[in-house]
Structure 1
């Protein structure tokens, strides 16, 4: 056992040393030979993709000491004020790790390579970009390929480390928002309002929600009015949890942009209370205004009780039901204002 442990330790040490000082990187030559628009052309029509590919221009034989190891490059891409990474997005680039980024005009993105690049090979770095301002004159996006720390890579030709791509913007996303906000209107109801400055070729607005501000899901969709001078929108959604809201604005070509994010903190739904929550007989719903509908449902969603409240307190009889968990909800008008659970013994 001791001998095996020693061999394992030596193997780990050897791997660690190799990662820090890769012996096969001596004659590597990182280069940025020239980015291009995916799909061709030199104009961003709302949004598009640019391939900022990196080449190992080493003249060494493939598989020899011209290999660029994984994690040894730092590629910095700087955008002009006319286009770049769309606002309120988290960029991902296949086969690369995003170290840092800045969205919006004049932003940038920094990448490191996930894969080794052999002599004479390239690694695609396809970045999603969006137009911010229509401009007929091509604007330069600068790409710099440098070596990352602590891994040092041979660089036999430093003259090919910086390159540029010149692109124009034909049409940014055809909507400009003047405002966007969301607030709680009543218990469990959030109202969202926004106003556009212009709309053209816009298909729809999708309302998205996230409890933590990371993973968003669409909860509602509204057709765009396509008003040349802008339009006002207002919609409501049923939501009991606090969280974050944003708009996904989708044009007729399928391109999209996100709005800013706004947070809504939901208050407790009035003073409605249910007690006791464990009973073999009656339970009481308190804090009502009168006129609400009280429903009791079993574990498969069947409504066992549906009764109208006659005052501030209402009794529900659980004695005739089988033991188990039941849900109690209170509806005021068309709004659900309370949800609770009760255990029938």
Structure 2
């Protein structure tokens, strides 16, 4: 029999996982990660997981990255999501000018939040750009020292076209002091991510606050910045889903064992509960195995010869996210009212799963 992939708890130090989980309930009440959770994240440099070595980052390879992120998400969904999104924004450091990157990543406790939506505009000026706009869903906004934004580029009020004749869109990085947070994050789950909106009004920035997310424009000549952003995003978000799903399965094991102590529960129903745990565990582990294999192979392949492998990463990431939702929904009806109690751990994991699963990257096939 083939050995299943390790449990996500193998990917994170147990002491760190215990602290992250211990404060997850309070973090939800606070609407942001708890200071004790943040101490671990900042001490271990998790917001710098993808920041270049040359700027003081960890520059973690993709196979190591996704395993750690699954472990963090198993400990707590909101913590895993904030680390994933903010570390992902740190990856942009590989595309910024050295001058800008040194300014940003030399900031104590640096954390980049932001949005990939093009809901702002940047007017070309004599010295750079004038930025205006409002962006939604900036996970980790309360902890951010900087924000990244996508803007439609304009000149004299008119959209500038790129070399393909399409409206030109570029990302920018701005300081927290130049951003106004708007408290719009009012979802049923992932509450502690604090994924609020933010506003920028008439902010003039220099040209070096703009960058291009394209391997051809990478300022740091390392493999990490030649890996496509799409597959990086798909893979890292998928393991957030699987980490939470396995947390849910673990909680179901405990809950089902309690149910089986009820003398009125029929033997066939006890066996059904056992089968449900075994079947969902086997399914998600088989899916994780294919996912990790595809990610590992894509990372090992030469940069100019991995298109097929990258397609497999996209496919396996979407499959992992889908199966993660399905195993949770398979188990939930057997959990009873304890799982419906809003202040229970299992209910929080269920709500986090179904909030994270609404991310646009998993909505449609590409």
TM-score range, shorter chain: under 0.3
Structure showing the higher strand proportion among its residues: 1
Structure showing the higher helix proportion among its residues: 2
User: So what's the TM-score if we normalise by structure 1?
Assistant: 0.21
The structure, 1 or 2, with the larger RCO (C-alpha pairs under 8 Å, 6+ apart) is 2
